[in-house]
Structure formats: structure tokens, C-alpha cells
Structure 1
């Protein structure tokens, strides 16, 4: 069984827009090493070095204040600061640099009691189960495993997929009575996921196979984060593209 210290979650925060991390999220992720990425998206015509010179001190102060919030609950927290023209590309690059297993796209989370885990047919359910068990440690969060089948003929396969995920979670030490499963049949997975997320407090989505990981992160996960009121945890794969950003890093225990 994996240890919480085997995982790491990237938490991007727009520090100069007053974005904060909800206390419920801080508490839920306290046992997992967190990389706080303070970022600022700058216009294409503005050099990132210029933005760093102009706003760097203020951004670092805001990021340091956020760090103390995590340290107050004994979280192992590392900080990074970036000024960038493409925030999603920055999230991807820092996730790779810091060996993060997931990226948490923030939304308000006044209550954190239940998790919806949207599982596609082409994701690694064992990997999702290991990370999800880490998130669930020390919490009373209830879990709903959710799959959208393309048509009625795929319903049974979807149920089998969720049973595989359920078994993997139980094998990781999650109590079976905390796990529910639901398969729906519809042509629009994004719509169904958003409707189901209305009844939950945290949405977990996994990236699909390597050939489309980049597309899924930039498209579906981002659309879900924009259209749901829940925080979205994207369990990621491996990808890396160059970026023209200015980045500074610091770490703390």
C-alpha cells in the first residue's frame, strides 16, 4: 500500500487576483505533500520578466501567506512562483518538474463531504485508486464512482469498470461502505458529469491514454472546472512542453 508521502498534488493559485485555498481543501489535503504554484497570467505583449520585476515582491508575499496556512496543519508544502502567457502550459510543466500526480483546479468549497470520481474506460483505475486513497486518508469523505457509457450496449462494461475501481479502492484500504457506483448512458459525458457533480463537493477526473492526455487536460478538465462550482482534481499523466515563462521556486517542510 502506498504512503501519502508517495504522492504530491499541485495547487495553482492566482495570487494577484486574491484567489485563496478554501480551508476545507487545506484540511483534506493536509496529509499529502502539496506544491503551491502562485501564478500570474500576463498579456502576450507583456514580457514575463517585466511582470516579475513589477509584481514579483507582492506575489511572493501573497504566496508566503498561503504557505503558512498549509504549514499550520503540518502539511509538507513547496512553493513555486510563475509569470506566464499560458497558465495551463505552466501547470503542466510544473507538475512534471515537481513530480505531481494531480493538479487541483480551485473553486470555492465551503463544505467537503462527498467526492464524485468520473472514470473513463481508458484510464488506469489502479493509479486513480492509489491517489484517491491518499486523499481520503484522515477524512470522512464519501465516494461515488461515476461512468458515462456511450450507449446502452456499453452499460454492462461500464459497471464492470466501476467494480474494478471499487475493488482497487477497497484493496487500498478504503472501507467498502464509503463507496457508491453509478453508470449513466448518454452521448454527452461532460454534461452528465456536471449534473452529477451538483450533488458532490469535489470532482475527480482522470486523464485518458497518453495519445490524448494533452487534449483532455486542456479541454474537458478545464471546461469542467469552469462550469462546475466544485474544485476539480485532475489525476495526470506525463507530458511536457516548453514555456516562455519566468519561474522562481522555493521549498519548505
Structure 2
């Protein structure tokens, strides 16, 4: 099992808890908690920092302790600033500096043992398999490889592609009972992924060439999927 680094943004003020007491399945991860307190427009970040730094640090270290109990190593960072392009640039810089293998679009993190892996093609398959290897097979209930074909004529090719990825995962210690391969025919792949995600507790996606937009650290497709699901979306970054 390889170790993977995971960047998890934690935004303040928090609307809801990021984790619960059932956090598990993170043994193979080195986690960087990227704390960012969004300062109101027109207010001095230095003043906001002075007022809230102790509160934010306490919450970050409480989160770090929860991840440590799930057997993940954890590093904490805390920043203050406006919720604009500056935040996006900073997230990108931290991801580069920490050499993050993946970035989480945060939702409530609990058991990471039921994993949905949508694959459009096998372009990033090696990188995704390398990342999935950090999930200990003994704590994985199910890992579903999922492809949406927009035409029935694409189904057989898609099954062959997913089968190739499945064989690589078997070579990494997963068993046939851990893995499920699904090809669905639908006209809207994004909607199909969102619907499928409801039966899982984490979605793992490969990074695409899609460019981030203003105020979005990652591309808009990832953000839309995250907004319409109740589980974390993990974006596996390409090798730099």
C-alpha cells in the first residue's frame, strides 16, 4: 500500500462539522488541513486574524486529532483573507508546495470505505490506481469503477477499459469482492455520476485539462458535482 498526500480545505466560519466520530479508512494518507478564514469585504484580515486565530486553530487541531485517530498523519495550516481570487491562488500554491496527490472538495467526511470512481477514459488510470492503493483493502467495503456511455455502441469498449483498470487494482491487493464495474448508458454523464454517488461515501475523480474559473480552485465540473452531492469529492492531481 502506497502513501498519498491529501489536501483538505477547511473554511471558516464553519457552517457544519467536517467530520464525525466514524472517520476511518485513512491509514494510507498524509493529510494537510488548509484552514482559511474568509474575511468580510472591506475588513482588515489582520484584525480578523487577531479576533479569531485561537478559535480557528483549536478547531483545526481538533480535526487533526480526529484524522490521527483514523491513522492518518496530519499537518495544519491557517490563513486569513478575502474569498476571492486571492484564496484560489493561495490554494493552488499550497497544493504545489505540499506536492498534494489529491485535493478534497469538502463535505462531511465519515467512513471512506464505499468509493465511487467515475472514469471517462483510461488517460489517468495509472495515477488513479496509484492513489486508490492508499485505501487499505481490508477497510474497503466496495470500490465501484463507473463509466457513462452516451451511446449503446460505446458500452463494450467502456467495459474493456474498466476491466483493464480492475485488473490493475487486483494486482495492487484488492479482491474481486471489493470491486464492482458498471457501465451506464445516459445522455448526461454528469447527472448520472451525481445520481450514482448517492450510494457511496466518497467520489474519486481524475484531474482533467479543464481550467479553473474565477474563485474556483478546481474546474467547474468538480464544483457542480460536489454542490449536488452530500459526500466529499476527491480530485486526483496529475503528476507535476
User: Same fold by TM (over 0.5)?
Assistant: yes
**Do the aligned residues in 1 keep the contact of 2:111 with 2:201 (CA within 8 Å)?**
yes
Q: Deviations over 1:11-68 (max 9, x none)?
A: 12224315332333x3211331111112222344344444323322221222122222
After superposition, where does 1:156-171 map in structure 2 within 5 Å?
A: 156-171=156-171
Contact 1:120–1:206 under 8 Å retained in 2: no
Aligned position for 1:244: none
Q: Is the 8 A contact 1:21 1:106 kept in 2?
A: no
Cα distance in 2 for partners of 1:157, 1:172 equals 23
Would the aligned equivalents of 2:25 and 2:70 in 1 still touch at CA under 8 Å? no
Provide closer, same or farther for how the CA distance between residues 78 and 113 of structure 1 changes in structure 2, counting only shifts above 3 A: closer
Give the 5 Å matches for 1:64-103. Answer: 64-84=61-81, 85-86=83-84, 87-103=87-103
Output aligned runs, 1:106-117, within 5 Å.
106-109=106-109, 112-117=112-117
For 1:22 and 1:213, locate their aligned partners in 2 and report how far apart those are by CA, in whole Å: 33
Q: TM-score, normalised by structure 1?
A: 0.81
Corresponding pairs, count: 233
Q: Point out the structure with the larger strand share.
A: 2
In structure 2, distance between residues paired with 1:61 and 1:134:
28
Q: 1:188 to 1:38 in 2, by over 3 A?
A: same
2:46 and 2:238 map into 1 onto residues whose CA distance is 30
Q: Name structure 1 gaps, 5 residues minimum.
A: 240-253
RMSD: 2.5
Query: Does the CA-based 8 Å contact 2:155-2:185 persist in structure 1?
Result: yes
